[in-house]
Amino acid sequence: MKGNVIAEISIVPVGTGDSGLSKYIADSIEVLEKKKDLSYRLTPMGTVIEGPLAKVMDAIREMHEVPFTKGVKRVVTNIKIDDRRDKVSSMSSKVQSVLKRRPSIKT
């Protein structure tokens, strides 16, 4: 069964001369707002994306390009893909299955 994967992407522009990165992150997430087949959620440490593997990977490549269009010369991008094919998985089902074990956990 090939359903949706859950991925996380974190883009770090290098050598910008400014320790703030929020403008690059905001611009890269604009890519996701235009993708009808993907869901996403910004977290304090990255952006979580849900969708078919091929489309998630394409979106990640587009997001990775964004800082270069703003003049950045080097980008280090970390990606984690959680791909489960024995049952349907989603961003919310992953969190819910942990909460079922321990409802006191904060999300």
Backbone φ, ψ for residue 48 (5° rounding):
-95, 135
Contact present, 50 and 38 (Cβ < 8 Å): yes
Interface with its own copies, residue 85, by CB under 8 A: yes
Alpha-carbon distance of 90 to 96, in angstroms, equals: 10
Interface with its own copies, residue 88, by CB under 8 A: no
Interface with its own copies, residue 63, by CB under 8 A: no
Collect all residues with Cβ–Cβ distance below 8 Å to 68 and sequence separation of at least 6.
75
Interface with its own copies, residue 69, by CB under 8 A: no
Interface with its own copies, residue 83, by CB under 8 A: yes
Interface with its own copies, residue 76, by CB under 8 A: yes
Residue type, 79: I
Residues in the chain: 107
Min dist CB 42 to its own copies, Å, is 5
Question: What would the two tokens of residue 85 be?
Answer: 């094919």
Interface with its own copies, residue 70, by CB under 8 A: no
- Residues within the interface to its own copies (CB under 8 A): 6-8, 10, 12-23, 25-27, 29-30, 33, 40-46, 48, 50, 53-54, 57, 61, 64, 68, 73-86, 91-92, 94-95, 97-102, 104-107
